[in-house]
Amino acid sequence: MRIELSILIYCILWCCAFFSVANESHIDPPVPVDLPTETQLRDQLLQQNDNVSLVNLAPQNKREFITPSVHCFSIKQVKLHHLDEFSSSSLQRQVAKWQAELVGHCQSQALLEQDINILNALLYDAGYVTSEVGKVDLYADDEVLDITLNVGRVQDIVSEAPTDKRYLISQAVPVKKGDILNVKDIEQGADNFRSRPNSNVKIQIEPSSKEHESIISLSQVGKRTMAGSVSIDNKEQKIYGDLFGTTRLSFGNLAQLNDTLMVILSSQLDTLKSRGIKKQIFLWQVPYHYWRATLFGYDIGSKMRVSEVTKELQKTRQQLLSFEIQRQFRPSTQRTVTLSGGIQYYTYRNEVSGYRLSVHERRSPYVNAGIEQNYRFMRGGYLNAKLHYKQSVFIPGARLSPIDSLNGVPIFNLNFDALIPFKITSQQFFYQPEMIFQLTRSDIDGLLDKATIGGLYSVYGFESGKGYSDANQFVSRHKVTWLTPLNNQMLFSAIDYGSVSEDRKKIFYNKNKYLVGAAIGLEGSFKKLSYQLVWSIPLSAPSSREATGSQFNFNTQFNF
């Protein structure tokens, strides 16, 4: 239910600033629009049910230790056979440390059994769940401990449906027949499958007739899937309308590449010709083992009346096409690290009464890179940290800002968020802190790059498009949710603080550009119908800012 509600949550696009020449100084600056980021959409795609199960794993064999009759024996050397077959560098380091702790100490049989259990635990924690310690010999005269590791391998990878294409399995699951079985590879395959909407792929690890070998079994691999929703809300800026409708469609395995295609269409619902906004957004993602390729784009057109006297209309159109490659790593079963890099191409156009303002026109290419780390706690909850970098570059045909000093400035975005479950008496609560940074060394292009505070997705209590924007940004958000006894109904409260500044030293507090707001809300679902009600309140702002009242926003969504 929380996932369904979050699908339509948009973030604030970088605020459009005004750069003008003398004869165009009477034109109002363009107004920003709300837009989901590529990172948000990709994260939402990955938040599907994980149907991986590990069943009927063979229990570890009982080992008999050949030891001398003395109560204590020393070890000068530990020999490990087949250790070099395991590719995990972290496992190699841990085992080397384990060996060093054995050498030079007096061991008893009980201590040795305990040390062998520790070695088995190291294998298991590294993901080698079907590998274990085999034969253990102690040569007392030579003071040598000789250990043979039983390496668990994949005997075969099979599909329950004979019509499933084998290339779909080999594309998604980064393991093949004869490889050493590591559960991290199985989990990665599960992630690649579960990114598809309504995916019900099931992966099982089953024992085979051969010793130390397992069979990976999959079902419903080649099935095409689809999910969608339609919604009505009033979350968009009032200058574009009072009610807005959104249709979202998601297709899984449409091109038979384990791919996911998401399409979002949004528009105002009134028929006034003097205002409106239309959004077309798409995301297409194709996985391959630990790699993912993502194509993302949007086309947004908006219009509003500049003056009630002259009846002039201001129209803007902005477009984006980006391509990104991600590489995932799994240092542990709880932690995932993602490296990404790609290119983006923005276009922007602004016109008033049919006159195009050349100073506001952009055709700006960017290069971007990032690193993300996701850690999931054993008892529920998660901690995410993200660092993204982008920088405009010049290529033939590009049209960057007419102010040269605003071009090619590195922009760094940092995001930290967490979900922490806790209980008061028997009631379940969730605490969700989030911190957002944008950092630059100098001023940047206001049309495409500046960060904004104010609105449902940055600081509660202030209408989107009427906050503040600047080159550097700091936002701190805190939300507490109560999972009520009523099925799928939640109450929440939140408090936000945000500040923007041209000077990076004033990022945490700029007395001229800061906002503090709070909100309370109710969200939930009834079968396929979900909703969200939010009442937000402004708490503090610069004294020079015109006072604003509280706001009420809603979203109603039908899922199919």
Q: Which token pair is 70?
A: 């003395």
Listing DSSP states for 323-381 in one string gives: EEEEEEE-SSSSEEEEEEEEEEEEEEEEEETTEE-GGG-EEEEEEEEEEEEEEE-TTS-
Over residues 188-213, the pLDDT tens digits come to 998 898 888 888 888 888 888 898 99
Task: Tell me which residue has tokens 């949710």.
Answer: 481
Per-residue pLDDT band at 307 (split at 50, 70, 90): confident
Q: Identify the pLDDT of residue 43.
A: 54
Separation CA 495–CA 520 (nearest Å): 9
Q: How many C-beta atoms surround the C-beta of residue 359 within 10 A?
A: 15
Q: What pTM, to 2 d.p., does this model score?
A: 0.83
CA dihedral 287, 387, 368, 291 (to 10 degrees): -20
Q: Which token pair is 163?
A: 């019509």
494 CB-side CA count, 13 A: 28
Residue 17 above 50 pLDDT? no
Q: Calculate mean pLDDT across residues 171-199.
A: 90
Question: Exposed (0-12), middle (13-18) or buried (19+): which is 485, by Cβ within 10 Å?
Answer: exposed
Q: Which token pair is 522?
A: 């109710």
Q: Which token pair is 85?
A: 């077959």
Separation CA 560–CA 557 (nearest Å): 10
Of 31-40, 302-311, 327-336, the range with the lowest mean pLDDT is 31-40
Of 45-54, 83-92, 170-179, 497-506, the range with the lowest mean pLDDT is 45-54
- Domains in the chain (CATH in brackets) are 369-560 (2.40.160.50)
Separation CA 315–CA 303 (nearest Å): 4
When computed from its CA atoms, the radius of gyration of the chain, rounded to whole angstroms, is 29
